[in-house]
Every structure is written in C-alpha cells, then in structure tokens.
C-alpha cells in the first residue's frame, strides 16, 4: 500500500510512505469507498473526486482545477487544486522580474479581466503552505514541490475588483516548471451569486 498523508485544509502533502498491509475485508472496503465519515467530527471527509470543478485545464504534466471563487470586501479570490502526474517542482509568480533563483526572466502578470475589459493584477498567491507575501515566499513568487497524484491547494487573490462585474473573461496564472515559463488560462467564469 502506498499512502500519502495530506492536510485536507491546505492540500499540502505532510508525508508519504509505502507499507505492506494485509488486504482484510475492512481494508478492502476503505480502499474502494474513496471517502468515509469521520468518527469524532460532524463533517465527513470529502474525497477529491467529489469536489465540484468549475473548469479544468491541463498544461505540461499539471492539471489545474478551478474549484470556487469568492468576493470578499472589494476583492475576489479563486481557489484551485493543482495535481501533477509525477513528483514535480512548481513556481508561480505575480509580476515580471528576473528571478535569480529560477535563473529566468519572467514575463507577464498573473491577472484577470472582467466583461468590461478591466484588467486586475493579482496581489497574492498561495501554493500549499507557501504564500507570496508571507514569511515562506518572495513578495513576487511562490514555489512548492508537488507529490504525484496529490492535489495541492492554490489561492489567487485580487484587490479593488469592480462590484459591477458579473463574469471573468480570463483568469491567467503565470507559472514556471520544467525549465519553462507557461500560463494557465481559465476563460468565461460566471461570478454571479
């Protein structure tokens, strides 16, 4: 049995191990169910298969799932899960600059456009436990290592968003992995409540 312990709130891998387990009926039932109720809490465990995906985009060896959006004050944020088909390092950045650690001159901004053509630049990106403006990230970029087939939570936030906007024509997230710059583009996202 190959197992990974994942923080369900943050989508970050905590540990991984491989062990031999006798496939008794109880173990077989757990493995085939995909999720089960908690013993001590009121909420059940939701398997990733059950999480509602608004849109899915595949780029390189990564799959990005847009899970939800939320307006908060004068801002809006988008929650995604990113999964890799192999153990992979992934970087995301807010705006163009020369990132010496990556040995790359990054171009373009992580941004959104509303239906009126207004462009908004991201003010923060969280990738697992790392945040662009936190103690674990740069002020302009964030990076983390993904474990194969384990989703990691991504939150991209924007400030000063128009209260009149009802749709996002483009959400573009700038990334770097496998020695290549690339962008993930989600289009035509309805944001009516």
Q: What is the C-alpha to C-alpha distance for residues 142 and 129, in angstroms, rounded to an integer?
A: 10
Q: Which CATH architecture has domain 49-190?
A: Sandwich (2.60)
Q: CA–CA distance from 40 to each of 36, 51, 149, 158, 179 (Å)?
A: 12, 22, 28, 37, 45
User: What do you get for the CA distance between the two ends of the chain, in Å?
Assistant: 43
Q: Give 178-188 pLDDT, tens digit per residue.
A: 888 899 999 99
Query: Taking the CA atoms of the chain, what radius of gyration do you get in angstroms?
Result: 18
Enumerate the domain spans of the chain: 2-47, 49-190
CB environment 126-136: b (16+ within 10 A), e (fewer): bbbbbbbeeee
Q: What is the pLDDT of residues 59-106, one digit of tens each?
A: 999 999 999 999 988 999 999 999 999 999 999 988 766 665 666 666
Q: Which two tokens stand for residue 179?
A: 């020695």
For residues 43 and 124, the model is more confident at 124
Question: What was the pLDDT predicted at 42?
Answer: 38
Cα–chain center distance at 20: 32
Sequence length of the chain is: 193
* The predicted structure's pLDDT at residue 46: 38
- Give the pLDDT confidence score for residue 99 in this predicted structure: 63
Q: 47 falls in which pLDDT band (50, 70, 90)?
A: very low
Q: How high is the pLDDT of residue 121?
A: 94
DSSP-H helix ranges across 23-81: 25-33
What pLDDT is attached to residue 43?
Answer: 39
**pTM score over 0.85:** no
Q: Mean pLDDT across the chain, nearest whole number?
A: 79
């Amino acid at each position: 049995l190959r197992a990974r312990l994942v923080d369900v709130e943050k989508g970050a891998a905590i540990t991984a191990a491989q062990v031999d387990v006798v496939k008794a009926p109880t173990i077989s039932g757990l493995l085939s169910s995909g999720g089960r109720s908690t013993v001590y809490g009121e909420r059940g465990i939701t398997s990733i298969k059950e999480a509602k995906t608004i849109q899915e985009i595949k780029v390189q060896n990564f799959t990005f799932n847009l899970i939800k959006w939320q307006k908060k004050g004068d801002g809006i944020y988008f929650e995604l899960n990113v999964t890799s088909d192999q153990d992979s390092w992934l970087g995301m950045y807010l705006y163009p600059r020369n990132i010496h650690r990556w040995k790359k001159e990054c171009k373009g901004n992580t941004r959104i456009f509303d239906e009126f053509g207004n462009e908004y630049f991201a003010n923060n990106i969280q990738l697992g436990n790392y945040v662009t403006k936190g103690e674990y990230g740069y002020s302009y970029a964030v990076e983390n290592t993904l474990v194969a087939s384990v989703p990691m939570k991504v939150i991209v936030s924007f400030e000063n968003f128009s209260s009149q906007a009802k749709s996002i024509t483009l959400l573009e997230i700038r990334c770097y992995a496998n020695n290549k710059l690339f962008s993930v583009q989600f289009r035509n996202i309805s944001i009516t409540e």
